Amino acid sequence: MIDKPYEIEKKSMEIIEEELRSKGLLDSIDPTLLPLFKRVIHTSADFDYAENLKFINFSLEDIKKLLMSGTATIITDTNMALSGINKTVLKNSGAKALCFMNDEEVKKAAKERGKTRAIISMEYASGLYKNAIYSIGNAPTALIRTGELIEQGLLNPALIIAVPVGFVNVVESKKYIERVCKALHIPLICAEGRKGGSNISAAIINALFYSIENIRNEDSSPALEERKKDLKNGEDKNKAGVSYEDKYIISHGRKLRCGFTTGSCAALSALGAARNLFAKKALREPLAIMTPKGVEVKVLPESSSYDEKENTGYCSVLKDAGEDMDVTDGIEIFARVSLLENSSNIVIEGGEGIGRVTRKGLSQDVGEKAINPVPLAMIEESLERAREEAGLETGLKCTISVPKGEEIALSTFNKNLGIEGGISIIGTTGIVEPMSEKAFSDAICLEISQLAAEGYKRLILLIGNYGKEYIKRPEFSDFKHVVCSNFIGEAIDAVIANKYEEVLIVGHSGKLIKLSGGIMNTHSLYADCRLELITLYAALNGAPLSLCKRLLDQVSTDEALRLLSETDIYEKVLDSLLDKIQYHINERIRRDRAAGTIKIGALLFTGNSKENSLLGISSVGKEILYK
C-alpha cells in the first residue's frame, strides 16, 4: 500500500497520464503544458479539462520568468483559492498572493454601490497591481469587470486565469474575456464551459510554479537567497510590491493617481532628521517608508540640515496628495530630532501648526497634540529604524511642525471636531486615495462620536445645509445636529454604534425620497431615481398612465410633488413613500445586533434654503417629536 504523500501524488500523475493516453487525449496536449493539465485533473478527477482548457497568447517561459522575478503578484477572487496556493513556492520565488474580498474598504464600497464584493475587489486590486496575474475561480461578475478594466486601459495583467464555475453568466463571461484577451494580446488560461472553481484556480497557479525546477524544495531557490539578502538589508520587496507613484484608483470610470498622508509625510521627515542627527551632517538621500497599506513611499527631502551647536537634525518633506482635492497638498512638514539625555525613550511632540485637542471623543485626550495613533506609530517606527541603523540605543526627542498649519486648518473640519490652532497629522493607511469619500464620511462619524462622548442622546442627521433654517424651530431645540451630507448609511451605523436613543433624519425631498428605494448614499453618482420612485408609488395608488408619464417628465421632485398635489392620491403617495423610507431605516437598524432600542425616524421638507415647508414625517419620526 502506498502511504507517503509524495508517492501517492506521483502514482496519481502516472495514472492520469496513462488514462489520457487510453482516451486518445494525450497527443493533443502540448508536452510543456502536460504537467498543468495533469495537476488540474488530479485536483478535480475530471478528464474534461483535457479538452476545455484553452491557452491564448500564452508563453510558459515568460510566466516562469515573471514568477521567479521576486516581484510577481497574484490576485485571486476568493480566499479559498488564495489558501490553496503552495506557501513554499511563494516563499521560494519571492512572489506574493492576495485576495481583497475581506478588505474593509472593499466591503464598504460594495455595500454603498450595491455591487458584489468580487467586482469591487477587482477594481481595488487594479488600482494597486495593474500588471499582476489575475486568477478568477468563482465569480463571473469579477471576470467581466476585469475584462472591462482591461478594455478601459486601467489594467494590463501579466496573465488572466479564467475558471469561474456555475450556471449564470459563467459561459458568457469566459467568452467575453477570450474576446478581450485576443483583441488586446493579454495572456489567458481559460476553462471553457461551466466547469471551474477556486480549487482549479489554485491548481493552475501551483502548476505554473511547479514548472520551475526545484521550486517546491525548501531553501533551494536562488530567488530565496536574494530574498533573504533583501530582508537582511531592510528592503522587503515582497511587502512593498508597489510604489505610491504607481498606485491609482478607479473613480467613476476615471483613473486617478494616489498620494500620501500627512502621517507618512511626518514619518519621512522624522527619518531624515534622525539620520542627519546620527550622521552629524545634512544628507540629501532619498527617504523611504513602508505604509500600513503595504505601499512604499519614497521621496527626496525638501530641506535637510544639521545644527552642530545644538546637535540637532532637521528635515522637511512636501506632501503629495496625488489627484485628491486636499487642502494640505503641497504643504511642508518639518521634523526636528535631538538626543534625549539619560533615557532610551522616544518622545514625539507637536510644534508650530499642529493642532491641539479641545473636545472629548477623539483618539487623543483634551490638550494633547493632534497626531493620530497610526501616524504616531509610523513616526516612532522611523525613529527606531534610524537608531538601529546607527547602532545606538539613545533616547530621541522629535518635534513635528507645519509652519502654515494654523492657516490651512481654517479650510478643514478641524474646528468642528474640536481641534484648534493647526492641522491634524492623520491617516490610517498612509496613502491618500483621490476624491476619496472615506475621509469625509469618517469626519462625519467622528463628529457623531464626539457628541455622544459629551452625553447627548438625541440627534438630528441633516442631509445638506438646506435644513439648517428648518431645524431652528422650537420643536428641535433639544436636539444636537450633524450634517451627514449624502452618507445616510454610515451616519445611521455611527449613531447605533454610539448608543443614541432618538435620531431624526431631516432632509429635502430631493434627497430623502431616494431612501424609499433603500439608497443609503444619496449622491447622484450612485443613484438618481427620485422621479421613478414618486411615479412608482403614484402608479401603485391608482395614477393613470398619462399622469405617470407627466411625473417622469418633471425636472425636480418639487415639481413632481406639486403636480401630484393637484390630484386626490397625493396624500396616499406621500404616506407610501414615508412608510417605505421608515421600512429601509428599520432594516438598516435590524441588521446591526448592537442597535438595542434606538429610534430613528425621518422628516421631509420641500422648498429652498430660505423658504421650506413640511412635507411629511415617518411613523417613528412622529413618535420622537410628539411623544
Per the listing, cell 488540474 goes with 40
Q: Which residues contact 64 (CB under 8 A, 6 or more apart)?
A: 208, 211, 212
Helix (H) or strand (E) holding 599, with range, is strand 599-607
Q: Please count the other Cβ atoms lying within 10 Å of the Cβ belonging to residue 78.
A: 24
Q: Which residues contact 593 (CB under 8 A, 6 or more apart)?
A: none
User: In DSSP terms, which residues pair with 338 in a beta bridge?
Assistant: 312, 397
Please give the angle made by the CA atoms of 48, 49 and 55, to the nearest 5 degrees: 140
Question: Between β-strands 188-191 and 53-56, what pairing exists: parallel, antiparallel or unpaired?
Answer: antiparallel
Q: Is 42 a catalytic residue?
A: yes
How many Å from the N-terminal Cα to the C-terminal Cα in the chain?
A: 79
DSSP assignment of 119-173, as one string? HHHHHHHHHH-TTSEEEESS-HHHHHHHHHHHHTTS---SEEEE---SSSSHHHH
CA dihedral 537, 540, 543, 549 (to 10 degrees): 60
388 phi and psi, to 5 degrees?
-65, -40
DSSP assignment of 347-413, as one string? EEEE-TTB-EE-STTSSS-TTSB-B-HHHHHHHHHHHHHHHHHTT---EEEEEEE-TTHHHHHTTSS
DSSP E strands: which ranges in 39-115?
53-56, 73-76, 96-98
CA dihedral 446, 452, 453, 456 (to 10 degrees): 140
Q: Please count the other Cβ atoms lying within 10 Å of the Cβ belonging to residue 558.
A: 16
| Three-class DSSP category at 490 | helix
AA identity, residue 352 = E
Here the cell at position 395 is 533616547
Active site residues: 42
